[in-house]
Amino acid sequence: MEIVVKTSSELSQPDWESYVLGFNEVFNKTETIENFQHKYLNTIDNHSYHALLTNNNKIVGGCTVIPYQYNIGETTERIGLAVDVFIREKFRTDPIALYRMYKKLKKELINQGIVLVIAVPNDVSYPYWKNIVKWKDVGLLQYWTLPVNAGNILKKAATFTNFFSGLFSKFLLIISYFTNSSEKDFPIKIDRSNRIIEKQRYASKHKIINDLKLFFAYRVVNEEGLNACYLIDFYNTKNQKKDSQSLRKAIKYILQNEQIDIIIFVGKLNFFQLLLFKVPYKFEPKHLYFTADILIPEKIADAEFVYNIKNWDFGLFNYDVR
The tens digit of pLDDT for each residue in 237-284 reads: 998 899 999 999 999 999 999 999 999 999 999 999 999 999 999 999
Look at the chain and count its residues: 322
Of 211 and 255, more confident:
255
**Dist CA 266 CA 250 (whole Å):** 15
Residues 126 and 149 in one domain: no
* 154 within some domain: yes
Residues 25 and 108 in one domain: yes
* 321 within some domain: no
**Dist CA 189 CA 209 (whole Å):** 22
Mean pLDDT of 60-65: 97
- Supply the mean pLDDT for the chain: 93
Residues 157 and 278 in one domain: yes
Residues 70 and 200 in one domain: no
* 86 within some domain: yes
Domain of residue 135: give its range.
2-139+289-313
Q: What is the pLDDT of residue 158?
A: 74
Residues 30 and 104 in one domain: yes
* 318 within some domain: no
To the nearest whole percent, how much of the chain has pLDDT over 90? 82
The CATH number of the domain holding residue 51 is 3.40.630.30
Number of independent structural domains in the chain: 2
CB 234 within 8 A of CB 245: no
Residues 187 and 59 in one domain: no
- Strand partners of residue 263: 146, 229
Q: What is the pLDDT of residue 320?
A: 85
Residues 115 and 57 in one domain: yes
**Dist CA 183 CA 222 (whole Å):** 30
CB 240 within 8 A of CB 192: yes
Instruction: Residue 300: name the closest of 134, 110, 73 by CA.
Output: 73
Q: What is the pLDDT of residue 194?
A: 86
* 320 within some domain: no
* 319 within some domain: no
**Dist CA 51 CA 151 (whole Å):** 46
Q: What is the pLDDT of residue 312?
A: 97
CB 307 within 8 A of CB 138: yes
Within 98-257, strands assigned E span 114-119, 136-140, 143-147, 188-190, 207-210, 214-223, 226-236
Q: What is the pLDDT of residue 322?
A: 66
To the nearest whole percent, how much of the chain has pLDDT over 70? 99
Residues 252 and 304 in one domain: no
**Dist CA 122 CA 84 (whole Å):** 11
* 57 within some domain: yes
Residues 132 and 153 in one domain: no
Of 109 and 321, more confident:
109
CB 88 within 8 A of CB 94: no
Residues 130 and 36 in one domain: yes
Looking at the chain, the number of H-run helices and the number of E-run strands are 9, 15
Chain centre to alpha carbon of residue 151: 28
Residues 8 and 126 in one domain: yes
Geometric angle at alpha carbon 11, from 10 and 17, rounded to 5°: 175
Q: What is the pLDDT of residue 233?
A: 95
Residues 147 and 278 in one domain: yes
pLDDT at 160 over 80: no
pTM: 0.91
Mean pLDDT of 167-196: 92
Q: What is the pLDDT of residue 241?
A: 92
- Indicate the residue type of 211: D
The tens digit of pLDDT for each residue in 106-155 reads: 999 999 999 999 999 988 899 999 999 999 999 999 999 999 988 888 87
